[in-house]
Structure 1
């Protein structure tokens, strides 16, 4: 009875065990690994207008808050029968989504 060496297809062998600090996207032709992405982002922000950025942030925050509060309100009503809190959250979420639509249309009309 001799000791056999482990097979080459060891299931515990780390396939990514080379260099943990090596960029895995260094050879990506789409733009990864060049170390220039910070400059690209800075250039994109400098080319855009301040009103576009503010409108985007306003609409994004209102949509996220509206979806969260409306869905949470509906779940509170459906699962826990908390009509007052759930109803207030659902109505507030729908109002936030409505404000997001109004803000988007106002910005689009201005452009």
Structure 2
């Protein structure tokens, strides 16, 4: 009986557990911002990269139009001031499209 209860608890926890979100991040200075596709998406370049999105390959921000305007202003501020930004993407994202973005010291 004890074994059946333990098995039931194990199966219940497996069935109702969420998968962990694996994220990758890049922190670097903004070296270029392309405004051509505004307000739909913002391609930009960072001074640093990783294996999936190396430095010099465009990374993207593409949410809704109002959010894109705010992020464009933040990227422009980071570009002019020389501050770094951290772009966070899904681990399996090969399009280099950010989910979260932060301006950092």
For the superposition of Structure 1 and Structure 2, which TM-score range results when normalised by the shorter chain? Answer: under 0.3
Of structures 1 and 2, the one with the larger relative CO (CA 8 A, separation 6+) is: 2
TM-score, normalised to structure 1, is: 0.23
TM-score, normalised to structure 2, is: 0.24
Q: Which entry has the higher C-alpha Rg, 1 or 2?
A: 1
Q: Indicate the structure with greater helix content.
A: 1
